[in-house]
Structure 1
Amino acid sequence: MKLTFHGAAKTVTGSQHLLEVNGKRILLDCGLFQGKRKEAFELNRSGFCAGKDLDCLILSHAHIDHSGNIPCLVKKGFTGDIICTSATRDLCAVMLMDAAHIQEQDVEFANKLRKKKNQKEFEPLYTKEDAVAAMDQFVGISYNRKREILPGVHLTLVDAGHMMGSANVILDIHDQEKNRDVRLVFSGDIGRSGIPIINDPAVLREGADILIMESTYGNRQHPPYPESEKELERIVNETYQRGGTLLIPAFAVGRTQQLVYALHRLYLQRDIPNVPIYVDSPLATRVTDIFRLHPETYDSEIREFLLKDNHSNPFGFDTLRYTQSVQDSKELNFLREPAIIISASGMMEAGRILHHLRKRIGDKKNTILVTGWQAPNTLGRRIVEGEETVKIFGEEFPLRARVETLTGFSGHADRDGLLAWAGAMQKKPTRTFVVHGEEEVATIFAESLRTELGFPQVDIPEPHQSFEV
């Protein structure tokens, strides 16, 4: 049995892990590398995309760094099942189309420049037609329903608590070559206990023989969620009192819905003023509609909120508006009163948030609130690090707006959460592979697994490195 780590190895994005067993090839996730546009563009074209040689793809969740390369895989000849939860399938239906649209736009922009220089033009990694074709191969299954997906390989998905539909992947394998039974667990992204909307991560008490585990926040602690909600209240009120606009770059899936729900609660409690709130992201709007279709994924807190509150929709209330058209988005440039604008992309590398930043980044009255991890070399990382000037659409702008960060809204477990999840395993894995973390973070977290939990062998794979297990 062999594992090869084609993505999310010593980095956070591009999750792709290949398992070869019993003459079959199973891919765990098929994500895009994200970050600075040029770097991501090159990585995604040089990465693993051997579609016709695969037998099956298991998808942990819908985030693009885990799912975004699926249309490329299908385009290259993959014809097998793409197995995930039903909620993940529904999210991918809109998210992969959006990713394809971005691919096409980026290539169109690049080709205008290349044409002027008489250089060979690029083709998009995949198109919207490729994304549509990929959806035919999705197979949605429920949590905790064990099923045989290939001879001698049984799959169970359990709730990872990271976002709607996210799953830990459990593979119970009879390794024919060595005549042994092996349990392999792939964590996907592990969520946090006690945050609203979705369930807490499942506890895998039985443990594993082989563990592939994420380490995104393996070296830091998140503040408790209630503290982050109080901080959000403070930031809204202070920005309002300055007469400014609160800009929140947010990932369209998960983070936007969390923020809307938190603002809804603060509004109902009269903890924030009656300030207009705009969700200016077409993808976030479509994804929110899918959230409404899956109340079975909600935790007890939001179900109680629905029962007590006259507003039957947790993602819509009196002062909230979802913009639809480009013209609606442009109209936000003419706002003269305080407002809150939530817009994608979360790392500020694309999307409508760039237009709002260009308009408001130079004004001290305004606030930029960062609520998610920012990849190296992205505009978001430069803003968080407090650079005096930043480049937007090729033009330099002074960074005068106040910058605030809140990690308490993160959908990823922090160091203690990750160790608690792994430490609950009664059977300690004999081999552990730490992925989905920057190299320094992964190194620190791997040492924590060894010293604090007593995991005997913990490796941090290099990109494309293989291991016999």
Structure 2
Amino acid sequence: MKITFHGAAQTVTGSKHVLELANGKKILLDCGMFQGHGKQTGEWNLHFGFQPSEIDFLVLSHAHIDHSGLIPRLVAEGFTGDIICTPATRELCKIMLQDAAKIQESDAKFINKKRLKLNKTLVEPLYTMEDALLALSFFKRVKYNQPYTLTEGVELLFTDAGHILGSAAVHLDITENNKTTKITFSGDVGRYNDLLLKSPAAFRQADYVILESTYGDSLHDMAMPTEGRLLEVIQDTCIQRKGKVIIPAFSVGRTQEILYALNGLELKGVLPKVKYYVDSPLSEKATLVVKAHPWNFNNKVQEVLKQDDDPFDFEGLSFIEDTEASIALNEDQTPMVIISASGMAEAGRVKHHIKNNIENPNCTILLVGYSESGSLAGRLKSGVNPVSIFGEYYQVNAKVTSIQTMSAHGDQNDLIRFIENQDKNLTKKIFLVHGEPDTQEIFKQKLHEKGFQNVEIPYRHQSFEL
């Protein structure tokens, strides 16, 4: 048996790992899109590093685009197998992949309008809405803790990863030549004190663990709870400086956490009386999906539900759907909070909101999650000034700040807690994925200190015999 790491290898996005069995069957773990890597991003997304038509099964850990976003292209290039995921992941992918296809088609149309005038070769979208709809027909749903036979000799089990709604750690028991090899792929590991979701579940002993390492070198700052930090930023910006708070937020997970925290402030009677907007049709749809799965919430949220039947709604909140209403927010100079996708500010409406407010010293850009260093959010976080947006440079006069506690990824302590139920003498190897190289080296040393001696940091397209 062989495993090859085609994405999220010494980088954070583009999760794709191929298991090739002795009988020739190939299992793809995730099929994510690369994001925030500058000019390399497009090239990496065009070439998988393997032949899609040769993949027999795709096992999907969760719906985030850096894990699912290239599924329609996989199908367009010949994949016809089953796509196995949890029911909630299927529901989220239904809206997210169609949204991504719409963006791909729109971006290609915009680029080709310019290229046509310059008599240049036209570009094709990564995939189309037709590809996305076809891909959705291949999805099969498997619940947490429900054993599933993927193919002869391969047993699959999902356990709750606690990262976003429906996120799963993937456990494969593969029997070849009367010997069973146990493989665990963590997907993205959530927090053990998440605002909304249950903690990551314990799992059976594995021979090999493919472990994410996004925050393997750091601890999330818990000095001030999320509610308190949000209140501080809104009071400073909207009440004191009469400006706008712009929050780039992932449509799935992060947006709902922000709404829950703002609702908590209202329940306490301290939410500032300003306008609040979620300016993302995808975020609105994702919030409806999250609301439909209350059994995934942790005990704290269950207690809130006893006094508030909708913990994601509060006075002053509006959802923006059409483009004209989104544009109108830029003309409205009254204090407001705008929550909009994408989380890395690489695309979508939030990029326009940042462009229109970045030179205003009364405004604040609030970053609430992981940002690739090359993305707009990453450049703002690192202090780049001026910053390029849509090919033009803007002075960063707005205040740029962040809430580190809102990450849906576990920090170093969470990752150690996730892996420590494994017998160090029985774990043959840990592969670190979904992390930057410097971070992974630090985390590798931490794992060594905890007794896990055989730790690999694969590079893109590197293969290992298991």
TM over 0.5: yes
Deviation at 1:33, TM superposition (A): 0.5
Q: 1:119, CA displacement in angstroms?
A: 3.0
Q: Which residue of 1 aligns with 2:445?
A: 447
Q: C-alpha displacement at 1:394, in angstroms?
A: 2.1
Aligned pair 1:352/2:353, yes or no? no
Structure 2 residue matching 1:369: 3-state secondary structure: strand
How far does residue 48 in structure 1 lie from its aligned partner after superposition?
A: 3.2
- Structure 2 alignment gaps of length 5 or more: none
2:229 matches 1:234: no
Q: Distance in 1 between matches of 2:427 and 2:224?
A: 34
Secondary structure of the residue aligned to 1:433 is strand
Partner of 2:387: 390
Aligned twin of 2:35: 34
Q: Is 1:366 aligned to residue 363 of structure 2? A: yes
CA contact (8 A) 2:83 2:138 kept: yes
Using the TM superposition, give the Cα deviation of residue 50 of structure 1 relative to its aligned residue in structure 2, in angstroms: 2.2
1:113 and 1:134 map into 2 onto residues whose CA distance is 31
| SS of residue in 2 equivalent to 1:251 | coil
| Letter paired with 2:434 | H
Residue 418 of structure 2 aligns to a residue whose secondary structure is: helix
Q: Read off the aligned partner of 1:18 and give its amino acid letter.
A: V
1:225, distance to aligned residue in structure 2 (A): 8.3
Equivalent residue for 1:411? 408
CA contact (8 A) 1:173 1:181 kept: yes
Partner residue in 1 for 2:427 = 429
CA contact (8 A) 1:27 1:56 kept: yes
Q: Report the CA distance between 1:328 and its aligned residue.
A: 1.4
Amino acid corresponding to residue 291 of structure 2 in structure 1: R
Letter in 2 for 1:360: N
Change (3 A) 1:59 1:225: farther
Contact 1:237–1:272, Cα closer than 8 Å, also in 2: no
Give yes or no for contact 2:38–2:374 (8 Å, CA) kept in 1: no
Alignment-mate amino acid for residue 448 of structure 1: K
SS at match of 1:139: strand
Report if aligned partners of 1:49, 1:73 keep a CA contact under 8 Å in 2: no
- State the 1:39 CA deviation: 2.6
Cα deviation for residue 78 of structure 1 reads 1.3
Matched with 2:205 is: 207
1:65-464 → structure 2 map (5 Å cutoff): 65-176=66-177, 179-204=178-203, 206-224=204-222, 227-240=225-238, 241-309=240-308, 312-426=309-423, 428-450=426-448, 452-464=449-461
Amino acid paired to 1:77: G
User: C-alpha separation between the residues in 1 aligned to 2:410 and 2:6?
Assistant: 23
CA distance in 1, matches of 2:233, 2:354: 18
* 3-state SS in 2 of match to 1:408: helix
Deviation track 1:41-76 (CA, whole Å, cap 9, x = no partner) reads: 111012335221011110000000000111111111
What amino acid maps onto 1:98 in structure 2? D
Contact 2:4–2:462 (CA<8 Å) still a contact in 1?
Answer: yes
C-alpha contact 1:173 1:182 (8 A) present in aligned 2? yes
The residue matched to 1:365 in structure 2 has which SS? coil
Distance in 1 between residues matched to 2:398 and 2:264, nearest whole Å: 26
AA aligned opposite 1:365 = N
Structure 1 pair 114/47, CA: closer, same or farther in 2 (3 Å)? farther
Corresponding letter in the other structure for 2:155: H
- Are the counterparts in 2 of residues 4 and 18 from structure 1 also a CA contact under 8 Å? yes
Counterpart residue type for residue 223 of structure 1:
D
How far the C-alpha of 1:272 sits from its partner, in A, is: 2.7
> 1:264-311: per-residue Cα shift (whole Å, max 9, x none)?
1012212231111100011101111111221221222112111122xx
Partner of 2:465: 468
Q: Does the CA-based 8 Å contact 2:142-2:148 persist in structure 1?
A: no
In 2: Cα distance, 1:40 partner to 1:101 partner = 18
Distance 1:325 1:225 in 2: 39
Aligned partner of 1:52 in structure 2 is: 53
Greater shift in the superposed pair: 35-44 or 247-256: 35-44
**223-232 or 390-399: bigger deviation:** 223-232
- Higher mean alpha-carbon deviation, 428-437 vs 331-340, is at 331-340
Q: Distance in 2 between matches of 1:195 and 1:432?
A: 25
Any gaps of 5 or more consecutive residues in structure 1? none
* Greater Cα shift, 108-117 or 118-127: 108-117
Partners of 1:22 and 1:161 lie apart in 2 by 33
Shift of 1:459: 0.7
Length-normalised TM-score, structure 1 = 0.96
Q: Secondary structure at the match of 1:386?
A: coil
Greater Cα offset, 221-230 or 278-287: 221-230
SS at match of 2:387: strand
Report deviation, 1:226.
5.7
SS of the residue 2:174 aligns to: strand
Give distance in 1, aligned partners of 2:38 and 2:134: 26
SS at structure 2 position matched to 1:308: coil
Distance 1:225 1:21 in 2: 48
Verify the 8 A CA contact 1:103 1:126 in the aligned structure 2: yes
How many residue pairs get aligned? The number is 463
CA contact (8 A) 2:280 2:341 kept: yes
Deviations 1:405-432 (A, max 9, x none): 1110000000111111111223541111
1:4 aligns with 2:1: no
| Residue type at the aligned position of 1:383 | L
CA shift, 1:117, in A, is: 3.7
Partner-residue secondary structure (3-state), 2:227: helix
Query: AA paired with 2:254?
Result: R
Report the residue type matching 1:402 in the other structure: K
Cα distance in 2 for partners of 1:127, 1:107 equals 10
